[in-house]
Structure 1
Amino acid sequence: MAAPGPRVGSPEWSRRLAAWMSRQGCAGSTPTGLRRIDGGTQNLLIRFLFGESEYVLRQPPRPVAGGPGMIGREARVLGALARTEVPHARLVGAETESRVLGGPFLVTAFVAGFNAVAELPGPVRDSPAAQRGIALAAGEAVAGLAMVDPAAVGLSDLGRSADWAQRQVARWTRTLDGYRGIGGYRADSLAAASAVHARLTRRYPREQRFGLLHGDLHFGNMLVAADGRRIAAIVDWELATLGDVRLDLAHLVVSWPGTLTSWPPAAGWTCTDSTDAVDRYAELAPQGLEDFPWFRCLAAYRMAVLLEGSLARSLEGTGDPRTGRRLHAIAEELLDRALDAAP
């Protein structure tokens, strides 16, 4: 087992990070102005200055299964995105070992913007016109990602195309079944899961539109430019893979702010309809949106299973019980809504 790293912000932590930043070619002497970023993520996010530039450090919690692999994967995707027009934070470097800060981490350039599910700035708060601009910008960003050619950016081996839809349903069903072996977890905890699974397996999409997927695309993982006219960056690429590109748009739609009563939007958010984003995507992405209701159902199922993991971890004693209960409520509503809209 690796020795624990230095306490965040301690002189030793700063010394190690400074030496690492210098090895990445960044000019500076010591990290200053440290600020923890709170955004609902379970990762440690630290914003800091090094020399004249501002950066963000992202580190998974310890221990975390697959931590080194997830960081390496995210770093690889961010490096590839530098060859595209997809808005993202520029990668500075990644560390997949524990010797520097006690666990794997990566550092990116800081991107100015706001999280539309957390707090809205004055120019867009209570402004339907400005928020429609955000919806259109989100549709454009997702379409831009859908049009990336994985082979052209060196990511053709990031996932397998054969039987992708069937494997997705099976994977998340196995994940959910795994929770049922945890003491205190009720087998019927997500009562609608079996019905959603039945809808998904009744008929799979006729054609596949394979490409690069973010894998967890919602407004919480988007930074919106201050004026609301563009997406400044899509963040948190740790679940990126290859798959049917319609799934990213479906994730955005099922998690759209204001559509779930258990997940209230930021104060002043009035744009509770994702139609403008979907229409903008359809205008730009050549893949089209055939069978989109199936992908909405899959997105809800997948997101519900991921959220339910927080409840499972809390029962194991490795997660916060309050967070687990809150995310469980969202998971339940996602599945109920999926049944209402299922094909």
Structure 2
Amino acid sequence: MTGAQPRTPKGLEVGLEAVAGWIREAGDDVAAPLAAQRIGNGQSNLTYLLTDVEGRRWVLRRPPLGHLLQSAHDVAREFRIMSALQGTGVPVPRVLGLWEPEGVAHMIMGFLDGYVVDSVEKGEAAPPELRGAIGPSIARTLARIHAVDLEESGLVALASHKPYAERQLARWAKQLAASRTTESADLDRVTEILAASLPAQSDLTLVHGDLHLANAICDPGTGEVVGALDWELSTLGDPLADLGTLLAYWPESDDGLRPWGVFGASSLPGFATRAQIVEAYAEASGRDVSDAGFWHVLGVWKIVAIIEGVRRRVLDLPDNASLGGVPTEEMVHMLSGRALSLAREYGLPKA
């Protein structure tokens, strides 16, 4: 119908006129009416692309609907971190502001154009030189994140300075217990192995917590990361935790895993191997990476905990389901078995 106002998508709840007002308040020109659509395969915070009638674009993030676990989905904290990183050399989107209607945090940031491998099809469409460049570029981006001066950025008080491995195990075990939907002896065994394998903390840095293919906007020509997204899990901790997370989300063709969504793209010919990613990170950061195995296993275990959280939220409120669908119980078992196999390969727990 001519002149009809764009419909606010499910889950956004706040009116688009109010959102346009926020953008003007932040100093950007906006030609109403705005259109909004849910984007991304993320199953956590809800993300929307905003477009005005002149084609200008922004991105809005807000927490998922329904009951949330304590400390999870903290958009205000994500805003604080991304604001602190402006001008540091870490590639992050421009942040406009934070608004909290009815106590619910809504962050708006600038739209970054680029190539995101958020499906196997996008991986297949990438030319060989782009495939090979992305993994090492993400590793170098991690090194830049870990080089951020905590005092100068104002992030030194972001989180506890206590040993990170213990903190991570305790936090995610608690999250897993609160959202468990699937019984898995392999998952229980991995939890025990991790508890018996905690490494000494090598350093205390800013940690992204979730940087992988789908959270990296890359230059379509060079593969260099131009935007690191989704900072909600960011904290202070051991930098090798980020390397382990990247490895956990980087399956290879001979891993024996059936395709599991976007992350199967890295198993396509031409993408860097995990060994090449570790090498790129070690070279860019100058750090000892001998404990990367523990963090790799912890990363896979955390993916299972995240999947269980997603399954629980969708069971409780189906509107939280993303466009990518809902993780299956089979995926929980598959990745739990993968984590246990990796623990054995790395010789965990070490005597």
TM-score higher than 0.5? yes
Distance in 1 of aligned mates of 2:55 and 2:306: 38
Distance in 2 of aligned mates of 1:93 and 1:149: 23
1:64 Cα shift? 4.7
Q: 1:175 to 1:8 in 2, by over 3 A?
A: closer
Distance in 2 of aligned mates of 1:20 and 1:67: 26
Q: Report the 3-state secondary structure (helix = DSSP H, G, I; strand = E; otherwise coil) of the residue aligned with 2:244.
A: helix
Q: Report the 3-state secondary structure (helix = DSSP H, G, I; strand = E; otherwise coil) of the residue aligned with 1:232.
A: strand
Map 1:208-227 onto structure 2 (within 5 A): 208-227=202-221
**Residue in structure 1 matched with residue 102 of structure 2 by the alignment:** 98
CA RMSD of aligned residues (A): 3.1
Structure 2 length-normalised TM: 0.82
Distance in 2 of aligned mates of 1:267 and 1:68: 28
Structure 1 length-normalised TM: 0.83
Map 1:231-310 onto structure 2 (within 5 A): 231-258=225-252, 260-263=257-260, 265-266=264-265, 269-270=268-269, 271=271, 273-310=273-310
Distance in 2 of aligned mates of 1:69 and 1:204: 26
1:132 Cα shift? 1.5
Distance in 2 of aligned mates of 1:236 and 1:217: 8
- 1:67-109 deviations in whole A, cap 9, x for unaligned? 897111010001011031111111111113337xxx4211111
Q: In structure 2, what residue type is equivalent to 1:28?
A: V
Q: Report the 3-state secondary structure (helix = DSSP H, G, I; strand = E; otherwise coil) of the residue aligned with 1:38.
A: coil
**Residue in structure 2 matched with residue 3 of structure 1 by the alignment:** none
**Residue in structure 1 matched with residue 328 of structure 2 by the alignment:** 325
Distance in 2 of aligned mates of 1:68 and 1:279: 32
**Residue in structure 1 matched with residue 113 of structure 2 by the alignment:** 112
Distance in 2 of aligned mates of 1:230 and 1:192: 37
Say how many residue pairs are matched: 327
**Residue in structure 1 matched with residue 60 of structure 2 by the alignment:** 57
1:287 Cα shift? 3.1
**Residue in structure 2 matched with residue 73 of structure 1 by the alignment:** 77
Runs (4+) of structure 1 exceeding 6 A deviation are none
Q: Report the 3-state secondary structure (helix = DSSP H, G, I; strand = E; otherwise coil) of the residue aligned with 1:98.
A: helix
Q: In structure 1, what residue type is equivalent to 2:190?
A: V
1:196 Cα shift? 1.4
Unmatched 5+ stretches in structure 2: 1-6
1:250 Cα shift? 0.7
- 1:275-323 deviations in whole A, cap 9, x for unaligned? 2221111001133213111111221222211112123334445565961
Deviates more, 1:26-35 or 1:134-143: 26-35
Percent of pairs identical after alignment? 24
